[in-house]
């Protein structure tokens, strides 16, 4: 029985690769080439010449903002399972415990955000 599944899996992967290869080759030969439009090959395709070199280092503040965004994004990821878990709880004591743990988590995140604001990390 297991060998039948292996054959089906092999054929499925084989056909996926075959279809991908065929579509890649068709796209390569059927897409028109416009090499005379030089703006498509420029560094910035927005219509104006760049003000400075694209090799300059970015400001550290951009990285800090991205890390802060990731922290709050992960916070939302933690809340989705808690919502479903909170709905399924029958016992009111357990529901209160989960509520207090979530509130503690939010308080810690809020205190961290206030610390970031007070220390001037987000000041530009």
78-102 mean pLDDT: 78
What are the tens digits of pLDDT across the range 14-66?
999 999 999 999 998 998 776 666 666 666 656 666 666 667 777 778 888 88
CATH number of the structural domain spanning residue 92: 1.20.58
* 74 within 8 A of 81, measured Cβ to Cβ: no
CA atoms within 13 A on the CB side of 37: 6
**Count of structural domains within the chain:** 1
Quick check: is 124 in a domain?
A: no
* 65 within 8 A of 121, measured Cβ to Cβ: no
Q: At 111, list the tokens.
A: 């205190």
Quick check: is 103 in a domain?
A: yes
* 67 within 8 A of 61, measured Cβ to Cβ: no
Does residue 43 or residue 80 have the better pLDDT? 80
- Structural domain containing residue 73: 2-119
Does residue 24 or residue 117 have the better pLDDT? 24
Quick check: is 72 in a domain?
A: yes
What are the tens digits of pLDDT across the range 66-77?
888 888 888 888
What distance, in Å, lies between the first and last C-alpha atoms of the chain? 65
Quick check: is 20 in a domain?
A: yes
Q: What are phi and psi of 74, to 5 degrees?
A: -65, -30
* 102 within 8 A of 84, measured Cβ to Cβ: no
Quick check: is 14 in a domain?
A: yes
Residue 107's pLDDT band (boundaries 50, 70, 90)? very high
Quick check: is 81 in a domain?
A: yes
Does residue 23 or residue 87 have the better pLDDT? 23
Residue 10: per-residue pLDDT: 92
Residue 38: per-residue pLDDT: 65
64 in helix, strand or coil?
helix
């Amino acid at each position: 029985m297991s060998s039948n599944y292996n054959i089906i899996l092999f054929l499925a992967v084989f056909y996926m690769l075959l279809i991908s290869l065929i579509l890649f080759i068709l796209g390569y030969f059927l897409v028109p080439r416009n090499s005379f439009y030089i703006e498509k090959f420029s560094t910035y395709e927005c219509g104006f010449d760049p003000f400075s070199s694209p090799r300059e280092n970015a400001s550290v503040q951009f990285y800090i903002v991205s890390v802060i965004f990731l922290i709050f994004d992960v916070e939302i990821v933690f809340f989705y399972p808690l919502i479903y878990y909170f709905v399924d709880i029958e016992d009111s004591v357990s529901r209160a415990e989960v509520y207090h743990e979530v509130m503690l988590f939010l308080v810690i995140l809020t205190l961290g955000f206030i610390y970031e604001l007070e220390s001037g990390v987000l000041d530009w």
